[in-house]
Amino acid sequence: MKKLIKSLLPLLAIVVLGASCMDEHDDPVILDSDGSNIHASTTIKALKEKYADIIADNGLVEIEDDDTIRGVVIGNDESGNIYKQLFVQDETGGICVSIDGNGMNTDWHVGQRVAIYLKGLYIGGYGELPQLGYAYTNDEGNTQIGRMSPFVWQAHSTRIGEARPEYIPEPTVITSADEFTDDMTSTLVSLQGMHFENPGIFTFADYEADDPATESRTMFFADDTEVTVRTSRYGSGLAQMVIPGGVGTFNGILTTYRGEWQITARTADDVQGDFDFTPLNTFIKEYFADDLGVFTSYSSKEHESSIEWVIDYSSACAKGYVNGQNVDAVTYLVSQPVNLSGVPAAYVCFEHAINYADLDRISEQHQLLVSNDFTGDVDAATWTVMPVYQASGTSFTFSSSGRAIVPEQYLADGVVFALRHTSATGEGSTWEVRNFAVVDGVGEEIKDMNDTSDAIFYEAFDDEPDYGKDGEFSFVNVNGNYSWNWDNRYNCMKMSGYGSGTNYANEDWLISPAINTTVTSNPMLTFRHAINFAKTADNRRACCRVYVSTTYTGGDIVESEWQQVEIEYPRSDSWNFMDSGVIELPQSENLRIAFRYTCEDHDAPTWEVDNVMVK
């Protein structure tokens, strides 16, 4: 009798719970099952495709169809790096399930098969990532996709049997960011041949900070395409791991946020291979996550206005736009003194983003400085500029400063470093800086890619090229009725497959004259470009690509060898020009640079190119 009562108690609990939820949800709770009688009526891929427009608009909708999906849990909150979410994958794709509960891994192990009853749940987009959840109204009164309660989740899910490792799908092996597709979102991937810039300094997250909850680090494939690593500062074993050197494998769940590909490791075991976690010796190491740390903000008294460096979006930030207008001001963010005496070599590195900048003056308005006579007056101190790689100037996309070499005369005691931001009444940029470090080690030669005076080659397209003549650009039309042309209004080269209200398939190459890059030990390329009407990040990357060749001498494209180079792309469609990033080039007496435009008859973006420079 006791055994009978004991066996009936779970059933009674289920019945009571089901009754309490029936007013809101028509579907009854179903007991855990071996899955023999639970069949999927749709797939995760079909579900996401059905609501693709709503997801892309970051909207949400209640699911009215009486459908069921089946899959396997591939990610939970076991390490704390995934927060109040489960990731479920079937044979067609994966989806994020947002649940307002902690300790989900207790009942929902990785490898647990699950059936999800969709009717009554909500589906929507968060940063364009598909999510299952519930309606949430934020502080501004806007309704968006949010977390369902654990009770709602219990009413809409069934565990199928026990969790087993063999149920976990094999991760998709990826060797370049160009291989990412929308079908891979929220699925297991294995990124191979990965490396980081400036390893051995910072950890994956500033676990001692109060904010933010999650931080980003950029990781690179062997072809220098990139992906963002997202790590929670609560992630046990992950947040504390130093960014490694070497080359390794990074496993995890692939997601996207507003067109940016991101990966989240489930546990520290997802970081594998020959990574080197040896920390480097540092003299200054500031995340700027929630305070200025060992830095102090000073304003020059020689200018009309004063502005301060502050913490904004987990970075040190200086803005030249104050109270609705640009101001005449110069502000310094100055470090505490450090002792570099006896150090053979040192360098400075940081990540930064610049927006609303005058691109012709970006280098002089955003400077890294060093001084050995600063005593509290920034106007009286002697400052030496240390060249860095500039950020785009037109977005809040972070990029690396490079490893700026500390000049030999400053390898001494009492040295300070500073970031100097300059704004004027006609122009005021925003400069954000994070992960600033002074490191014991050898830096790199950094060229000022905004100074054209010592360029090997520079073309600003102030006049229309005399196509194909010596020293001039040429174009080759492979397919379609349109070709590269000079825009006399904006003095740039422009290409589009759109005309007379119709998109046409095109392939067109804009090719530089032969450039002798053997005259410098480290040739580099930069240019500025804008892309509009591409609609998606994938389309921008697919339609607008850059190649180099050392064998092309004119004529047919296919008879020569071309190597694609990685460039930085705009995050969204616009006419705003941005920097391509600094691209390393091979040494050759016959280097050609080609801007290859391709499009289909259903999507034909416009690509504009300007200020092509090699130095």
How far, in Å, CA of 251 to CA of 192, rounded? 8
**Residue 269 phi, psi (nearest 5):** -70, -15
Q: Cα 63–64–66 angle (5° rounding)?
A: 105
What pLDDT, on a 0 to 100 scale, did the predictor assign at position 6? 35
3-state secondary structure 472-518: CCEEEEEECCCCCEEECCCCEEEEECEECCEECCEEEEEECCCECHH
CATH topology of domain 457-614: Jelly Rolls (2.60.120)
Spatial CB neighbours of 372, under 8 Å, sequence gap ≥ 6: 382, 409, 410, 412, 414, 415, 416
Band of pLDDT at residue 81, cut at 50, 70 and 90: very high
What pLDDT, on a 0 to 100 scale, did the predictor assign at position 21? 39
How far, in Å, CA of 312 to CA of 66, rounded? 45
List pLDDT tens digits, range 352-391.
999 999 888 899 999 999 999 999 999 999 999 999 999 8
What pLDDT, on a 0 to 100 scale, did the predictor assign at position 275? 95
Q: What is the dihedral of CA 127, 129, 130, 131, to 10 degrees?
A: -70
- The answer on pLDDT for 291 being more than 50 is yes
Q: Spell out a b/e string for 516-549, using b for 16 or more CB atoms within 10 Å of the CB, else e.
A: ebeeeeebbbbbbbbbbbbebbebbbbbbbbbbb
What pLDDT, on a 0 to 100 scale, did the predictor assign at position 571? 74
The DSSP symbol for 290 reads S
Q: For 241-380, where are the alpha helices, taking DSSP H only?
A: 362-365
Q: Provide mean pLDDT across the span 318-325.
A: 90
Q: CATH number of the domain at 172-279, out of 2.40.110.10, 3.40.50.720, 2.40.50.140, 3.30.420.40? A: 2.40.50.140
CATH class of 2-167: mainly beta
Q: Provide mean pLDDT across the span 64-69.
A: 96
Domain ranges within the chain, ordered by starting residue? 2-167, 172-279, 284-440, 457-614
- The answer on pLDDT for 317 being more than 90 is yes
- The answer on pLDDT for 9 being more than 80 is no
| R_g over Cα of the chain | 28
How far, in Å, CA of 125 to CA of 258, rounded? 10
Same fold: 2-167 with 172-279: yes
Return the CATH architecture of domain 284-440. Answer: Sandwich (2.60)
How far, in Å, CA of 319 to CA of 331, rounded? 10
Instruction: Check if the beta carbon of residue 42 is closer than 8 Å to that of residue 67.
Output: yes
- The answer on pLDDT for 346 being more than 90 is yes
Token readout for 154 is 């219990």
How many C-beta atoms surround the C-beta of residue 225 within 10 A?
A: 18
- The answer on pLDDT for 452 being more than 90 is no
Q: Provide mean pLDDT across the span 411-439.
A: 94
- The answer on pLDDT for 25 being more than 80 is no
Q: Which helix (H) or strand (E) holds 157?
A: strand 157-160
List pLDDT tens digits, range 423-433.
987 789 999 99
- The answer on pLDDT for 2 being more than 70 is no
Least confident piece of the model among 5-14, 40-49, 89-98, 593-602: 5-14
List pLDDT tens digits, range 240-275.
899 999 999 999 999 999 888 999 999 999 999 999
Distances, alpha carbon 293 to alpha carbons 289, 402, 468, 614, in Å:
9, 22, 56, 38
Give pTM, 2 decimals: 0.76
List pLDDT tens digits, range 522-532.
899 999 999 99
List pLDDT tens digits, range 124-149.
999 999 999 999 998 888 899 999 99
